Amino acid sequence: MTNKPLVATLAIALGILVASVTWIVARPANGQLRSTPNIMQSLEGIWTTPSNDSVVMTAEIKQNMITIMWGSKDDKSFSSLYWRGSFLYPAQFDDGTTVLSHGDVEPMKASLMGSQDTAKTFTYKDGKLSFKFTAMGVTRALQLEPKG
């Protein structure tokens, strides 16, 4: 024998509890609601170095993968894999958020310009994606901007 009224009452109570917890978690202390940007929409797409940068890089972010190709200002047909790796989208996404990408080492080893790193940290700040770039023993920070 089932006790349908008891099951229905428990289901309603559980629904109210989940809705209450969601409201409390989504609401900051000052009482104002904030909208969280869709993380994937913020990162997915094509990113490039600014045109005045001496290094030409183009990144494509698709789902949880980032692929960065190293190009040439003089020869538009030149392109070589620099980085390919996966990452997890952070639970909270704000300006200044960092993500750790774990490199797909084999394709990078096979590329003349491939990174020797096994992991790389990317930071999203002010609408730009930045990371440390090392070539021939020199490391510098590179910034990528959304293309378009």
Tell me the C-alpha distance between 100 and 90, whole Å: 10
Q: pLDDT tens digits for 40-50?
A: 566 889 999 98
Report pTM. Answer: 0.70
For range 51-79, the mean pLDDT: 88
Domains in the chain: ranges and CATH:
39-146 (2.40.128)
Cβ neighbours of 23 (radius 10 Å): 10
> Is 90 exceeded by the pLDDT of residue 103?
yes
